[in-house]
Amino acid sequence: MRNVLALTILGLAACGSSEGGRERAPAQVALPLSAWTVRHHPSGAVTHFEGRSERYAGEPVESALTFLTGAREALRLTAPRDQLRAIRSKKDDLGMTHVRFAQVLQGIPVMGAEMMVHFAPDGAVVTVDSTHVANLPTVPVSPALSAAQASAAASSHFRAGRAGTWERTETEVGVPVLVIRAHAAGAGRPAEATLAYHFEVRDDRLDSMARVQYTVDARSGAILEAYDDLETVTATGKGVLGDAKAFQVAPQGSGYVMLDTTRTPAGIRTYTAANSQALPGNPVLAGVLDNGWDIGVVAAPGSAVDAHAHAGLVYDFYKTALARNGIDGSSGAIVSTVHYGTRFNNAFWNGRQMVYGDGDNVVYRGLAGGADVVAHELTHGVTQSESALEYQNQPGALNEALSDIFAAFFEASLSPDPVKNWQVGEAIGVAGPLRDMAHPALVSRLPQPTHMCEFLNITQDNGGVHLNSGIVNNAAYLMVQGGVNDHSKMVVARGLGVAQGLRLWYRVATQYLMATSNFTAAADATRSAARDLGFTEDEMGIIESAWTAVGVVSGSCNDHTPPEEVEKGVTSSSGGGHSAKGDAGPTLASDEPKVATEAPAPAGCSSAPSGRADLAALGFIVPLVAVLAVRRRARRRRAVCLHPDQ
């Protein structure tokens, strides 16, 4: 909810901490501020803080801490220098600086709790985004359980969920790290904090494949959370599509190996699992340069050619269009494995590399044959190195959506097509595309929600990450192309175009999203990124209209109401915008800040899950029950939400 209040932020006359670790009281120096917009989580913690501070000339991390200390009451912080630990400070090509902090409690990181401070080129703070948890109690910081005992507890849990396959699995247990698992305050209960170990258990075998993130209580040994972080796209295939491609290889012995070091020194490397489940497998070799690659295989001949060549093209796209050096931005290796398993109808990013199965040629052709599928999987790696979006619930759906969105931009860079570019896997689908971002619910094999009124509150598929991503996909499509949302029937009269859309979403993905960002945070991020990029009032309105059309923002495409309930007399902070009729919305004249809470789903609509499910045993293929749930929801749409504002 937004209302109007007067806000004074106090700055520090001198920085630093006093003896005993206690911060000095800030000098009573008011910073020059314009109107500040404040959005609160239902727990009371601030999630978005937007305005303009005085200009800072010092080191960015120190300047950010100085600002946060002065603004601590408004941001619901008590001692920022004790509560926050700098993760990184990064200056972008616009001259803005972004400082990212992790929340800590008694020196131990709080899982998923972060804060980002964004500086304008002149040194003024213009935005603070936060997922921090307010008012956490102190906890004993000495674990009763050793790291080895925590690993054993997780291994036992992992094995129990894979009965009958354990003897064939190849697992790797990461190093347990002490963390605080926090729960924000809720109705009638205070915030909670638990000392825990966090680590990963990996299994790269086909019949038990998983990359499970474990959180184990450091005092009792209880499994507090376990979810599969294996990021996937469903597909099938029979082999290469028959198109000729040129690609780079390296001499090896008397022949050649699929290794391209012309783009990144660490190399684009392509392997074959030879229908096993071993990763990365063996390098793909050939005795001659031309027409001797990946032939004579059991199934899907030419998959290695597709995976290798497409990886190079996706690298070129990120480098040319976005000045990004590969997956990690630091010219790291790009590794692909083909011929994984037998008739394997999937592809995935496993946290280290891309993996492609041969498929069964019943539903899909060979996955590596889809250039957009390769772009999708590689983008999961980009997301991992940037926002590290959790792969469950809304953050996971946002993660999936980003991969689809950048796959669409990549495909448009190769061959612009306003229809096919916004479909996923159309080249490899025997019966059609895997997903359609323009019409998410109309894909017969895996229909997706199109609007928040159709949001699926399920535990399968890590909370519906491959299903609910359709809502963000459609918002991105409408922003870029314009069009009509199939549920709300709201019209976005025209789009930003591919070039502006790419600039917008890359900035969102690399500068604003955090590990637990949800759909509302994504809408905030597009507004902030658009403002940074100097978008016009009309372009800002297009963005607002797209989020409105899919129900993440409440209201209509004519008034661009923000994604929260608005108090009478307080108008949108978007500065006006574009509507279906081309008219501009009202502008905000007040100098005072606006305070808001997170948006609930419209009455009568499904809301996002509030908790986290134990998903340790969940496979990465979207289960049939989830598909049926979408179809049932599609049949009763009109009865659930007759109007998007309900």
Catalytic residue annotation: 377, 466
Supply the DSSP symbol for 168.
G
DSSP conformation letters of 328-393: SSS---EEEEES-SSS--EEEE-SS-EEE----SSSB--GGG-HHHHHHHHHHHHHHHTT---SSH
Angle between helices 498-507 and 303-322 (to 10 degrees): 90
The SS3 assignment for 315 reads helix
Per-residue CA distances from 4 to 10, 446, 448, 586, 594 (Å): 19, 45, 39, 17, 5
Distance, CA of 172 to CA of 524 (rounded, Å): 38
Q: Which residues of 342-371 are buried (b: 16+ CB within 10 A; e: fewer)?
A: ebbbbbbbbebbbbbbbbbbebbbbbbbbb
Question: Hey, what long-range contacts does 261-266 have (CB within 8 A, 24 or more apart)?
Answer: 263/312, 263/315, 263/316, 263/319, 263/326, 264/315, 264/325, 264/326, 264/331, 264/332, 264/333, 264/334, 265/331, 266/331, 266/332, 266/333, 266/334
**596 sits in which H/E element:** strand 594-597
Compute the Cα dihedral for 342, 344, 350, 355 and give only its sign: positive
Contact 230, 350 (CB under 8 A): yes
Instruction: Give the 3-state secondary structure of residue 193.
Output: strand
User: What span, in angstroms and rounded, lies between the C-alpha atoms of 424 and 435?
Assistant: 5
Cα dihedral angle (639, 640, 645, 646), rounded to 10 degrees? 90
Sheet-wide strand order for 255-257 = 250-252, 255-257, 285-286
The answer to whether the CB of 353 falls within 8 A of the CB of 336 is yes
Q: Please, what's the b/e burial string for 434-455 (b: 16 or more CB within 10 A of its CB; e: otherwise)?
A: bbbbbbbbebeebbbbbbbbbb
Tokens in use for 165? 């396959």
Pair of tokens at residue 172: 């790797």
Distance, CA of 372 to CA of 395 (rounded, Å): 22
Distance CA(48)–CA(81), nearest Å, equals 20
Q: Could you give the C-alpha distances from 125 to 36, 353, 398, in angstroms and in order?
A: 11, 37, 27
CA atoms within 13 A on the CB side of 401: 37
CB contact at 8 A, 471 and 452: yes
Q: Calculate the dihedral angle through the C-alpha atoms of 325, 331, 333, 335, rounding to the nearest 10 degrees.
A: 0
